[in-house]
Amino acid sequence: MNKFKTLIKKDWIISKKTLLMPFWITAGFYLLIILGIVIAYYKGDIQSNLFDFPVDSPINAISYIANLSVVGLPGLMSIIFIIMLMQGALNEDIRRNCELFHRSQPVSIWLRTGSKFYVGLLGNWIVLFLIALFTFIVVNIILATIHQFDFTTAISGMLQAFSAFVKTGLIIGSLTFFCSAIFKDKAFLKGLSILVAVHLLFLIFNNLFGWNLPLPLSYLMKLMIIDTEKNILVGIDEFEALNLIKNAWNSILFNWKTLYQVLFSGALFAGATLIYKNKEIK
Amino acid sequence: MELIEVRNLTKRYGSLKALDKVDLKIPEGRIIGLLGKNGAGKSTLMRCILGFLKFDGEIDIMGERVNHHKESIHNLIAFIPDVSSLDDRLTVQQTIDYVASLNESWNAVTAGRLLSRSDLPLNQKVGNLSKGMKTKLYLLITLSIDVKILLLDEPTLGLDIVFRKEFFNTILGEYFDETKTIIISTHQVEEVEQILQDIIFIDEGKIILQEDIAELKNQYSLISVQSNRKEELEKLNPMLITHTLGKVNAIVGSDVQIEGAEYSRPSLSDLFVAKVGGSNE
């Protein structure tokens, strides 16, 4: 356990810059907004009815949708940074010529890859959660000032969006991690190119010969998307909103697909480690 | 006691045979030089011993069979490749802490002593250190681990003479005792000649010679005569003839006598060139 802690500390040190980048981007984003508001205020351009909602709007639904939506941008950013970190996970040391130094330490390969996997995913998720939490506070202060805030549905919205991005990050991150064990650089792009090529090839075969070969990209998309039962943006009443929010937990987290996603990710991790373990270090 | 036993070791890179049926026994408590031309198979041999490369044949390290990379091997062997293989992204302190935490046999007293003697900037990134400083750091983290075998693969490549001398002095002073073994692969054989006890010549993936250096040198003499007596030397069928200012030198059997010649012990590099051929390294 102590060795794992040491590896995590080392991987945190070398990934720190990339991991913290979303904080700086978010801070820049908020600074720009504040700057815009200040300029607009001095120019007298602020619209006082910007956040006005109709009086009969369902507070639950508004709180929910608002908090669900605002995690979108940090969530996408998190996916991008997961890809950036994971695509160098198992090849960066080789490229930097320090693989021999790390491999010459008496520590299991599984612990080494585990630490890189853990820092790449969990590190990004923690950053995403903190940004989402900050955004949650900001958005709900605004909503509360215009009396459109309900804590339970608001936090559900934020947490559900966060969970959805965590799961997407898990699949994309694991896939990129796997590619980093195979390719020396630009692992994600190369892996994706191969998947696209295989997808197109299978598609052609299926159309030409009437076969039913599984299409890798369709499979991955199916694995990543959330199966929502109803489009929540369609006009709904208070009761429907609460029901949908409750059901959304089942669609996002508490289902067999989640277990399947975790197993898929675990298989990619194990495969990547075995490939990496068997790589010759010249 | 043999610390390392290599039997019938063959390593191929595609059609190229980097190691060809190598048999080797590395005893305890020796300082061994591994000498070969570029591409002779020195680094490949060391990487096979550490399990970093796949190979055919058998390697036992202190009775433990190595057929792939096992992390437990690093409790027995420390390895210093080219010093630029340290992780540039860590600071000196972080590198020391990292190695100390991962190695159960880390000796904090030795580390403290080596650190106090060095002028290593603890908060500086390894990437910003000079090659000499990196060498000191590599020595510190390697010699502070209590292992039985030390493998050095061209460790002083690119270092100036002061650092090279300091490197080998530190290793002798801080690491070596009669229970430990050091294997040094180097091009600068003249610098380590004085500290080596055994020598292994490797050429085209084959072990040409493995011998105690004192015994090897006793078998041969370096005879020097005036240039006009070259024909006399050639008649002796020498292993090697070289020219110096106004003189001709030849490596011959130690029992060969010529009137008026100067006798000395041949250097390792002379013997290497004599045995292997090619340019004097």
Each domain of chain A, given as residue ranges in start order, spans 12-277
- Cα gap B215→A179, rounded to integer Å: 54
Token couple for B117? 């003697």
Please list every residue in chain A whose beta carbon sits closer than 8 Å to the beta carbon of residue B157.
none
Closest Cα in chain A to B45: A282
Average pLDDT over residues A148-175: 89
Residues A63-122 have pLDDT tens digits of: 888 888 888 899 999 999 999 999 999 999 999 999 999 999 999 999 999 999 999 999
pLDDT exceeds cutoff 60 at A50: no
Backbone angles phi, psi at B202, to 5 degrees: -125, 135
* Residues B56/B8, Cβ–Cβ less than 8 Å: yes
DSSP A229: S
Which is more confident, A239 or A204? A204
Percentage of chain A exceeding pLDDT 70: 89
CA nearest neighbour of A153 among A56, A254, A59: A59
Q: What is the pLDDT of residue B44?
A: 94
User: Where is average pLDDT lowest: A74-88, A173-187, B113-127, B154-168?
Assistant: B154-168
Does residue A136 surpass a pLDDT of 80? Answer: yes
β-pairing verdict for B31-36 and B247-253? unpaired
Query: Minimal CA–CA distance to A103: which of A243, A35, A7, A30?
Result: A7
Q: Which of A54-63, A194-203, B164-173 has the lowest mean pLDDT?
A: A54-63
CATH architecture of the region B2-204: 3-Layer(aba) Sandwich (3.40)
Structure tokens at B255: 């029992």
Collapsing DSSP to helix, strand or coil, A89 comes out as: coil
d(CA B143, CA B148): 11
Q: Which of A10, A109, A281 sits opposite B98 (nearest CB)?
A: A10
> Is the pLDDT score of B281 beyond 50?
no
Chain A CA closest to residue B105: A106
* Contact (Cβ atoms closer than 8 angstroms) between residue B153 and residue B132: no
CA B181 to chain centre: 11
Confidence band for A48, pLDDT divided at 50, 70 and 90 = low
Cβ–Cβ under 8 Å, residues A155 and A67: yes
Work out whether the CA dihedral A101, A106, A110, A116 comes out positive or negative.
Answer: negative
Q: pLDDT at residue B280 above 50?
A: no
- pLDDT score for B244: 84
| Best of A104, A273, A274 to mutate (most B CBs within 10 Å, chain B) | A104
B54 touching A (Cβ < 8 Å) = yes
pLDDT of residue B34 exceeding 50, the answer is yes
> Could you give the CA distance from residue A98 to residue A282 in angstroms, rounded to a whole number?
12
Please check the confidence at residue B120 and state whether its pLDDT lies above 60: yes
pLDDT in tens, A217-269: 999 988 887 665 555 545 566 677 677 777 778 778 778 888 999 999 999 99
Q: How close does chain A come to B86, measured CA to CA in Å?
A: 5
pLDDT score of B129 more than 90:
yes
Domain spans in chain B, listed from the N-terminal domain onward: 2-204, 216-276
The answer to which of A14-28, A76-90, B218-232 has the lowest mean pLDDT is B218-232
Structure tokens at B146: 């209590």
Are A280 and B79 an interchain contact pair (Cβ–Cβ within 8 Å)?
no
pLDDT of residue A172: 95
Better-scored residue on pLDDT, A277 or A46:
A277
**Token pair listed for B109:** 């007293």
Locate the chain B residue with the closest alpha carbon to A94: B85
Please list every residue in chain B whose beta carbon sits closer than 8 Å to the beta carbon of residue A108. 71
The 10s digit of each residue's pLDDT in B191-223 is 788 889 999 999 999 999 999 998 988 888 899
The pLDDT of residue B166 is 82
Please give the residue of chain A at the shortest CA–CA distance from B81.
A100
Range with lowest mean pLDDT among A175-184, A232-241, B5-14, B241-250: A232-241
Q: Which one has a higher pLDDT value, A238 or A12?
A: A12
Nearest CA in chain A to B46: A282
pLDDT of A174 higher than 80: yes
What is the full DSSP assignment across chain B?
-EEEEEEEEEEEETTEEEEEEEEEEEETT-EEEEEE-TTSSHHHHHHHHTTSS--EEEEEETTEE-SS--GGGGGTEEEE--GGGS-TTSBHHHHHHHHHHH-TTB-HHHHHHHHHHS---TTSBGGGS-HHHHHHHHHHHHHTB--SEEEEESTTTT--HHHHHHHHHHHHHHT--TT-EEEEE-S-HHHHTTT-SEEEEEETTEEEEEEEHHHHHHHEEEEEEEGGGHHHHHTT--SEEEEETTEEEEEEETT---TT-EEEPPPHHHHHHHHH-SS--
Residues sharing a CB contact under 8 Å with residue B207, sequence separation 6 or more, in sequence order = B22, B23, B24, B200, B201
pLDDT at B159: 77
Q: Do A105 and B99 touch (CB under 8 A)?
A: yes
CA distance A224 to A216: 12
CA-based nearest distance A114→chain B, Å: 15
Q: Which of A14, A107, A109 sits opposite B102 (nearest CB)?
A: A107
A105 and B103 within 8 Å at the Cβ level: the answer is: yes
Residues of B in contact with A10 (CB under 8 A): 90, 94, 98
Mapping DSSP to helix (H, G, I), strand (E, B) and coil, where does residue A77 land? helix
Distance from the B255 Cα atom to the nearest Cα atom in chain A, whole angstroms: 45
Mark yes or no for CB contact B52/A280 under 8 Å.
Answer: yes
Nearest CB to A98; choose among B73, B86, B104: B86
> Best mutation site among B69, B77, B129, B142 for testing chain A: the one with the most A CBs within 10 Å?
B69
CB A78 within 8 A of CB A22: yes
- Tell me if A13 sits within 8 A of B88, measured CB to CB: no
Which tens digit of pLDDT belongs to each residue from B76-119?
Answer: 999 988 767 899 999 999 999 999 999 999 999 999 998 998 88
Distance of CA A78 to the CA centre of its chain: 5
Question: Binning pLDDT at 50, 70 and 90, where does residue B56 land?
Answer: very high
Residue B72 to residue A281, Cβ atoms within 8 A: no
Neighboring chain B residues of A280 at a CB cutoff of 8 Å: 52-54
